[in-house]
Structure 1
């Protein structure tokens, strides 16, 4: 049985007994929602699609690798004080049959490993498997493709969606991430109360380049797939990294009425590229203070708990929820919109 599958089974049966499988799992609230992307579109305002960004408030449109987010951030929207990294994803929208769009709200995560409280945003996992080498200052990467429209081009074991028939994750649905009935496509089922999105990053590094032109070639997936800490690495990318996983809970409960859904056969739920689940993607810029992440991996730090052996401290939800940043590309992205935010500044419906 794979480690992740075992973890899920133990968690479902024994609650916090799953803590024997040590990994970081913590909340990160929204820092800002805006059209910027310092990896794919550095220096550009009003990038082609909208992102939600979490983490350190030093986030900016260039993210110069010479500048350390851990040193420049004065707060972080993540629960670990030492994590000033930035994490971002596309935003899910509901497309009403009248042509208007609205952002799908998000809820915090629960489950057998304990509730995580988020103001939007996502949950972050760092899953070790054996000896891992933490990311270096200036490291960044992305997973997925914002232009992909073919589900078959996506490994379902790394990027997936789950129809969550419970109104919260306190009632666990399914098994390990990206297994069972999980799909690359965004589910279209009125029975879904939530849609859980999972993005799993590569765990193997070439050991030389902190980035690459496509932000992907310097890393690779190991053998196998899923949330198992990553399998054996290829010789081209021999350095084992902690496995980074994003988990998002989109609350679609208010959109279950099919009378609200488009009549032309188009999808009711789309990402901010106006595309479906095949275009799901995530971006990562490392920003942990000093060697705190390496110490966390070496000392078996667990879940969202303070870890004195690694110097990790946590902050309460009220504190990390309060870490916000003013939009660098100002536009109203709340409420019903006439069209997906793209091109010119978005307009209200």
Structure 2
């Protein structure tokens, strides 16, 4: 909590022209595509078991073999604000279930807070939080946080994956403390007073130093002793290499579903695209920064969503990264009211 408060205060000081003590990257990534594909867990498959929202480089494809697939070279644009970041980031999609049995995808918006407003066309916000000297990810690196089949909130460390209820759509004023603290829950808040639901996914920040990936996409990385958005803390001897801590922040705008008369008589109103709750929340990460720009950004204290000449980082304007989109590779309707969630057969409108 203290370090997060310090980070926030440092960002505010920097904005006012003072010298910041703690720096981190925090930037917007707009929607590249919403699609039922997953090159990490289900490579080559169209119409994977559940729907994802994907951001980042436009070379995103059904199959992205680590040895052969250089995202930084294959992508011609990125939906993330830093031009040099061709990585791909994705999560499951949140749906609202109407009492009549139809489903509607919950839209995402950018976040405010003390570090300033981020402008997103859907998508999510990405953080790279250093803690001391860190080693940037190597080309071909990929990892997974969370478990898409988990149904037990108690099996999910709240310091890694959590949700927060925001009772206003005006989120320029920071609500609550550090991510995944206080009243934050593993489960998705099911309360009509929530106008937005903030989802946080924090990735492991310790690496074994050898494997770019493992069959479960998890064993080559580990969480450190720190909890929450603190940079990860000290690493275990099995995974001694300290990485930048990657964090996703998704602002789900649930304000259109505040009418309690729309809600189902029993069961949750808000669920993820696996037809499961917050315990199944997960995030996928494929590294794709150009050259050594991420390492230089960490070494040079690049901060927030701004140009950083010392690392060769260029922050694009919203109209530039918003324009980077691709077509669905598993075509089906994902917006408006759907007769069922996109699972199994192609989705159809209600």
TM-score tier, shorter chain, comes to: over 0.9
Task: Specify the alignment match of 2:330 in structure 1.
Answer: 329
Please give the alpha-carbon distance, in whole angstroms, between the structure 1 residues aligned to 2:119 and 2:11. Answer: 20
**Cα pair distance change 1:180/1:44, threshold 3 Å:** same
Report if aligned partners of 2:94, 2:271 keep a CA contact under 8 Å in 1.
Answer: yes
Alpha-carbon deviations, 1:123-176, whole Å to 9, x = none? 000000000000000000010000000000000001000001121220211001
Q: For 1:1-349, what aligned pairs fall within 5 Å after superposition?
A: 2-8=2-8, 10=9, 16=15, 19-65=20-66, 66-263=68-265, 265-349=266-350
Q: How many angstroms does 1:52 deviate by?
A: 0.4
SS in 2 for 1:196: strand
Please give the alpha-carbon distance, in whole angstroms, between the structure 2 residues aligned to 1:191 and 1:343. Answer: 33
Alpha-carbon deviations, 1:55-96, whole Å to 9, x = none? 000000111112110000000000000000000000000000
Unaligned runs of 5+ in 1: none
Alpha-carbon deviations, 1:254-283, whole Å to 9, x = none? 1111111111x2100000001100000000
Please give the alpha-carbon distance, in whole angstroms, between the structure 1 residues aligned to 2:270 and 2:310. Answer: 44
Report if aligned partners of 1:23, 1:128 keep a CA contact under 8 Å in 2.
Answer: yes
Report if aligned partners of 2:31, 2:121 keep a CA contact under 8 Å in 1.
Answer: yes
TM-score using structure 1 length: 0.97
In angstroms, what is the RMSD of aligned CA positions?
Answer: 1.5
**Cα pair distance change 1:5/1:158, threshold 3 Å:** farther
Q: How many angstroms does 1:20 deviate by?
A: 3.7
Please give the alpha-carbon distance, in whole angstroms, between the structure 2 residues aligned to 1:190 and 1:95. Answer: 13
Please give the alpha-carbon distance, in whole angstroms, between the structure 1 residues aligned to 2:214 and 2:269. Answer: 35
SS in 1 for 2:109: coil
Q: How many angstroms does 1:2 deviate by?
A: 3.6
Report if aligned partners of 1:16, 1:112 keep a CA contact under 8 Å in 2.
Answer: no
SS in 2 for 1:47: coil
**Cα pair distance change 1:238/1:299, threshold 3 Å:** same
Q: How many angstroms does 1:47 deviate by?
A: 0.0
Please give the alpha-carbon distance, in whole angstroms, between the structure 2 residues aligned to 1:37 and 1:162. Answer: 27
Unaligned runs of 5+ in 2: none
Number of paired residues? 347
Please give the alpha-carbon distance, in whole angstroms, between the structure 2 residues aligned to 1:344 and 1:300. Answer: 48
Q: How many angstroms does 1:36 deviate by?
A: 0.3
Report if aligned partners of 1:4, 1:226 keep a CA contact under 8 Å in 2.
Answer: no
**Cα pair distance change 1:101/1:234, threshold 3 Å:** same
Please give the alpha-carbon distance, in whole angstroms, between the structure 2 residues aligned to 1:19 and 1:338. Answer: 51
Report if aligned partners of 1:19, 1:302 keep a CA contact under 8 Å in 2.
Answer: no
Q: How many angstroms does 1:111 deviate by?
A: 1.5
TM-score using structure 2 length: 0.97
